[in-house]
Amino acid sequence: MAGGMSVFGMKHVAMGVTALIGGGAVLMLPKGTVRHRLFGRVYAAAILSINGTALLIYDLTGRPNVFHVIAVVNLATLAMGLLALRRWRRTREARALITHQRRMAMNYVGLWMAFVTELLVNPMMGLSQLGDPRSHWPLMIALNIALFVAGGWLVRTRLVTAEVTA
């Protein structure tokens, strides 16, 4: 342990930062380029690592909790996004490419939702020390609903295209 954080916790945080940066790069880069694919692989590996470590961390409650459920859901959206990409590579169906983009983008939205939740409820992040931790749950729920709605709107109206540059 370093500073109260386990090795799994440190790896989880490092991969979280990697995924936040890598996922942002994937969304901003032209789709289908070598750089898009490279950052996409980094993002996917970081997400696998984040969720793998999340499933091994029980510091918050000592037993499985909502974060473990979120990790399983996040792994499912990642798998759906990657399988849709595989299907698109095989068939070149526009629908498969759009499914890939939507699932991966919503996976990234989910990453931001998890980050906000960690900031509010994890005692090591410091914010939960600012008041009664029970008061953070309504704020966390409201922020996550807002992130999900805003993220879903952006994905549907701004990010999805059936075209790639390469």
**Smallest Cα–Cα separation from 117: which of 139, 87, 102, 135?**
139
Is position 165 within any domain? Answer: no
The pLDDT tens digits for 124-134 are: 666 656 666 66
Checking if the pLDDT of 165 tops 80, the result is no
pLDDT digits (tens, 9 = 90+) for 31-88: 899 999 999 999 999 999 999 988 988 776 788 888 888 899 999 999 999 999 999 9
Q: With contact defined as beta carbons under 8 Å apart, do 32 and 12 qualify?
A: no
Q: Which residue has the higher pLDDT, 62 or 103?
A: 103
Structural domain boundaries, residue 63: 7-159
Q: Indicate the pLDDT class of residue 8, thresholds 50, 70 and 90.
A: confident
Domain count, the chain: 1
Listed in sequence order, the DSSP H helices in the chain are 7-28, 34-54, 66-91, 94-121, 136-154
Among residues 46, 42, 20, 32, the alpha carbon closest in space to that of 119 is found at: 20
Whether 2 is in a domain gets the answer no
